[in-house]
Amino acid sequence: MIVLGFESSCDETGVALVRHEPGARPRLLADALHSQAAMHEAYGGVVPELASRDHIRRVLPLARQVLHSAGVGLEAVDLVAYTRGPGLAGALLVGAGVAVALGAALGRPTLGVHHLEGHLLSPFLADEPPAFPFVALLVSGGHTQLMRVEGVGRYTLLGETVDDAAGEAFDKSAKLLGLGYPGGPALARLAEQGDERAIALPRPLLHSGDLDFSFAGLKTAVATQLRKLGPEPTPAARADLAAGTQAAIVDVLVAKSLRALRASGLSRLVVAGGVGANRRLRAALAKGAAKLRAEVHFPPLALCTDNGAMIALAAAMRACEGLDSGTHAGAFDVRPRWPLEDLAAVP
């Protein structure tokens, strides 16, 4: 089965081809991605209308590029997939409209995919993919969740953020530090130059006893520390604050993830989403998991951000399991708000 996948939930346009058969490892044939980061940087964040218009400009050229790179004609595509939600409504409609129209023209089925399920399953495209069951840490944009994953479409929520997500904490703290957009990677780079112990910052809900997260208070603490540093903090002080911020976020994510492993009795942890690319988080989780004699799996770095490969993969894995996502032929409704635990696993 060859699946053509479209991702357009926010500020990246992604298209990919994935081949997958029951009992075999999925294979990424080709993918292409366009980031709108440079366009949105002037505004300090994503402008939904601009994002939607740019998806329209990019999606078809990217699709042609992917097909050419893979040496695959449209007639070889068995299933067309698209991100149904969650995300920006206008942006989602671009990918949905193109995918459903293409499916109708080819006489092929279409499948709307949950964006977070795409992230969750993306490590199956790694050289050493995980096996079910596992605990998943989803750290993507406005989402920070711990899930128990028994199989495709079989997810149980263990804990989630009660306010700001980890990605939002990175981005908002970076904005306070004047690092621009997207802030998370910029903060991580600055943190490499600082001393994470120089400025004390809180670890919200670290000892709460549950698996929920809270990062809004951390952002407030960063703002407070900046005021203490004065109107023109030194480069060293800014680097120390960036390092302390990153350490606080990572410490909470690691502690809760390891607690979830112990509570579940499982020995595999899967980390997915944009924050999963953070090098300090990867190192700390690998070290912590090793102490528990547990495995930790990450998607390839190139697939941590939003991308078409994860959408094509999720659709292929659902199709091989005989599952859909509650979509119907000819329909391309989108769900800007769509909790992962509500995902329909309809046989």
Residue 230 belongs to domain with CATH number: 3.30.420.40
Q: Is 127 among the domain residues?
A: no
Name the domain count of the chain.
2
Query: Residue 329's pLDDT is what?
Result: 57
Strands 154-160 and 143-151: antiparallel
Q: Is 128 among the domain residues?
A: no
Which pair of structure tokens corresponds to residue 117? 């399920």
Q: Is 54 among the domain residues?
A: yes
Query: Residue 347's pLDDT is what?
Result: 36
Query: Residue 332's pLDDT is what?
Result: 73
List per-block mean pLDDT (blocks of 10 residues) for the chain, which spans 347 residues: 98 98 93 96 92 98 98 97 96 97 95 95 95 96 93 95 95 93 92 97 96 96 96 96 98 98 97 94 97 96 95 96 69 87 58
Residues 178 and 34 in one domain: no
Residues 40 and 176 in one domain: no
Residues 270 and 174 in one domain: yes
Residues 21 and 79 in one domain: yes
Residues 70 and 113 in one domain: yes
Query: Residue 22's pLDDT is what?
Result: 87
Residues 11 and 61 in one domain: yes
Q: Which residues of 181-194 are buried (b: 16+ CB within 10 A; e: fewer)?
A: bbbbbbbbebbeeb
DSSP symbol at 18:
E
Residues 289 and 142 in one domain: yes
Residues 117 and 176 in one domain: no
Q: What's the full length of the chain, in residues?
A: 347
Residues 79 and 61 in one domain: yes
Residues 292 and 326 in one domain: no
Range of the domain at 36: 2-122+303-342
Model-level pTM?
0.94
Q: Is 83 among the domain residues?
A: yes
Residues 114 and 50 in one domain: yes
Residues 168 and 227 in one domain: yes
Q: Is 189 among the domain residues?
A: yes
Query: Residue 327's pLDDT is what?
Result: 57
Q: How many of the other CB atoms lie within 10 Å of CB of 111?
A: 24
